Amino acid sequence: MNKAAFIKNIQKSQIIIISAVITISSVVLSSCRSAEHYKSKGETTEIRIKVDGIRSKNGKLMLAMYHDENNFTKNLRPAAAVQRMIFGKSTDVVFKGAFSPGEFSIAVFHDEDGDGTMKTSSGGIPLEGFGFSGNPPLSRGKPGWKETKFTVESGSHSETIQMIYID
């Protein structure tokens, strides 16, 4: 193969790369303007949750809201989640956002020792406080999606959850 032709080919490819890089960077720069001038549009839904009957002020309250049945049963990918300190017998949690209308479900637990996980006995009985939206009866183990779901379409919605302690 001729050496001079090879070098020429390389230079052509280099010019293409450089031009591509410059165009990409310019597109990116134009797409991200300063965010200060933006004003939000569109409907937002506000879900206000009141957690009642908290035993002590130790540790933190962990709350997760799910928008999907599959994720709720697997405890994966909550639509919104909060981990917060407790200052009284009841606390409020507010989720405000452009949630698509549909069914939601909430699971709470009170992490009293602060290790980040739910303490259970060897038989699987929870030793830390917990609660679900809709406050379902706990006759058959962990309640499912149908017992805990509530529907939110638009505007504001409020929900109260009673904490349960088994000791």
Partner 1 sequence: MNKKIVFGLMIPAAVFLLNCKSAKTQDKDSNTYAFNPENRGELILKIHGMNRAKGNFMILVIPENKSGKTKFPYQKTAVAALIIPAQKKITEVIIPDLPYGRYAVAAIHDTIRNQKLDFIMGFDPSVGGVLIPILPNWPIEGYGFSNKKFGIKSVLKPGTPNFKKTSFEFSENQHTEEIHISYFWRRWGIPYIGSIIAVLSLI
Where does this chain bind partner 1 (CB under 8 A)? Answer: 14, 17-18, 21-22, 24-25, 28-29, 31-33, 35-36, 38-42, 44, 46, 77-85, 87-88, 91-99, 114
Shortest spacing between CB 24 and partner 1, in angstroms = 7
How would you class 49 by CB atoms within 10 Å of its CB: exposed for 0-12, middle for 13-18, buried for 19 or more?
buried
Instruction: Return the number of the residue (42 or 123) whose C-beta is nearest partner 1.
Output: 42
Rounded Cα distance between 63 and 81, Å, is 6
Query: How far are the Cα atoms of 34, 45, 55, 90, 154 from residue 151, in angstroms, in the given order?
Result: 37, 12, 29, 23, 10
How would you class 95 by CB atoms within 10 Å of its CB: exposed for 0-12, middle for 13-18, buried for 19 or more?
buried
Shortest spacing between CB 78 and partner 1, in angstroms = 7
Shortest spacing between CB 27 and partner 1, in angstroms = 10
Instruction: Return the number of the residue (43 or 167) whose C-beta is nearest partner 1.
Output: 43
Shortest spacing between CB 122 and partner 1, in angstroms = 27
Torsions phi, psi of 126, nearest 5? -70, 130
Shortest spacing between CB 141 and partner 1, in angstroms = 27
Beginning with the edge strand found earlier in the chain, give each strand of the sheet holding 91-97 in spatial order. Answer: 91-97, 45-52, 156-162
Instruction: Return the number of the residue (15 or 166) whose C-beta is nearest partner 1.
Output: 15
Residue 143: other Cβ atoms inside 10 A: 18
Instruction: Return the number of the residue (88 or 141) whose C-beta is nearest partner 1.
Output: 88
Instruction: Return the number of the residue (56 or 146) whose C-beta is nearest partner 1.
Output: 56
Q: CB-hemisphere CA count at 13 Å for 25?
A: 6
